[in-house]
Amino acid sequence: MNQHQLDQKRNWITGKFIVGIDPAKDKHQAAIIDSNGNAVGKSFSFNHNSWGFHEQLWFKLKRYLGPESTHPDQLIFAVEAAIDFWQPLVDYLHRQGYSIVIVSPLTTKNSRVLPGHDFTKTDPKDARLVAESAFRGHYHHYEDYSDQIKAMKTLSLTYTKIRKDLSRNQQRLRSIVNRVFPEFLNIVPLDTDTAHFLLSNYLHPQDFLNLDVSGTVAAMLKVSNQQHGMETLSDLQQAAPTSIGIPRDTLEIISDRLTVNSWLTMITMLKQQLKIISAQLIELAKQTPWFDILVSIKGISDVTASLFIAEVKDLNIYRHYKQIQKLAGLNLRLCVSGKSRGRFKINKIGNCRLRWIIYLMTQETIKYIPEVRIKYLKRQIKYSSRTRSIIACSSQLLQLLMALIKANHHYEFIPENQSLVWQLEYQYDKTKKNRKRNKATPVYNI
């Protein structure tokens, strides 16, 4: 944020009473400061229920400010965005017509040391710090979006959480297979339907030695769309007698089978829920004017486009691609003092889900879109770091997206850019060969 934007925020809040609120599960803590930043009355609490919102809060405010000073034109509520406790309160205040600003918990945490040079943490102190942070201009305006955008945001959160649960259960399944039959993982990829079919019927090495070959092969061919059959099953049967898996007795075999069945059931259920959630999310995203523009870029799927729209909410409010970059925490953290310059890193203070979505989009578009791949190849020629190059190319992708959205235009392939890509591809191939040739051979001291 530059100084001009900070001054604008300070001027907007000047001349009004600020009520800083530290939300909590049962009781919210509030503190009032005037237009000069001085405390008004004592810090007070009010319940997180209907009586607290409609009666207790306003009784305290009228007691300290008077009935005439509680008008929406003279009062601003600054609320710390802590977990989910703040959302019902903010929604209620917004419906009452009051202006609301949101203060980040990170701002409150870093401000605790300022009053007394200590890290004391109390609810009254935090409520006062929230109000003072808003007074200094360290806040964001609360925005109320359409029902469609709110629904997409909820579905995006649900999709991300289900995906994390799916990943956890897949790792749990991998863990138990690693213990009893680790060779299985080298023959059949664990995240395939074929692996799930085999593990639902056979788990331990002896199970694969005593199965019905013809019936199992027929089922494998059907499940895998002819990708796995007799050859895969033969590899498993050859690996079973010499497996390094832990031998199990009867009771352990029963417990292993129950455990694997539990993980497989949860994985199947979570995959079904992901399909339902993504289908509804895509249906809502198609109603926005930006969906067709995003999917016109090869490498951006319907799901990633829908998730991107859900996380940025309203693309019309962004004037520059760097605003989205900062929202995702992909902006650079500078470290410059005098003549010394530290290593530049991405900030990572922002929406981690949006950061992950942008990374996925960039990872795919560097394969097909010349405007993005040119930067990727130039960086790979100079620095050999795929992950960092992908992150660096995300700014190029966001710049392209914002240009298309502002022009309300679908992406069109430009042949001139492709010729430059071919030249860089040739240079990159030579660079990779030189790096491989110049790689030092390790010397072992005997």
**What is the pLDDT averaged over residues 96-111?**
93
For residues 438 and 372, give the distance between their C-alpha atoms in angstroms, rounded to a whole number: 29
Least confident of 45-49, 148-152, 255-259, 385-389: 385-389
DSSP 36-89: TS-EEEEEEEEESSHHIIIIIHHHHHHHHH-GGGGSTTTEEEEEE--TTTHHHH
pLDDT at 418: 86
For the chain, the C-alpha Rg in angstroms (whole number) is 29
CATH of domain 3-144: 3.30.420.140
User: Are the CB atoms for 299 and 364 separated by under 8 Å?
Assistant: yes
Asked whether the beta carbons of 316 and 408 are under 8 A apart, the reply is no
Residue 111 has pLDDT above 60, yes or no: yes
Question: How far apart are the two ends of the chain, measured CA to CA in Å?
Answer: 59
Domain spans, the chain? 3-144, 151-282, 291-431
Mean pLDDT for 209-233 is: 91
CATH code, 151-282: 1.10.287.4070
Compute how many other C-beta atoms are within 10 angstroms of the C-beta atom of residue 300. 24
Q: Residue 268 — very low, low, confident or very high, per pLDDT cuts 50/70/90? A: very high
Residue 271 sits at φ, ψ, to 5 deg, of -65, -40
* Residue with the larger pLDDT of the pair 100 and 210: 100
Residue-wise pLDDT tens digits, 302-358: 999 999 999 999 999 999 999 999 999 999 888 888 888 888 888 888 999 999 999
For residue 112, the 8-state DSSP code is T
As a whole number, mean pLDDT of residues 146-162 equals 95
Contacts of 124 by beta carbon, 8 Å cutoff, 6+ apart: 29, 31, 43
Q: pTM for the whole thing?
A: 0.89
| Residues 352-390 pLDDT 10s | 999 999 999 999 999 999 999 999 999 999 888 899 999
Instruction: Note the pLDDT tens digit of each residue in 277-305.
Output: 999 999 999 999 999 999 999 999 999 99
How far apart CA 127 and CA 101 sit, in angstroms, is 14
22-64: per-residue pLDDT in tens? 999 999 999 999 999 999 999 999 999 999 999 999 999 999 9
The amino acid that residue 424 corresponds to is L
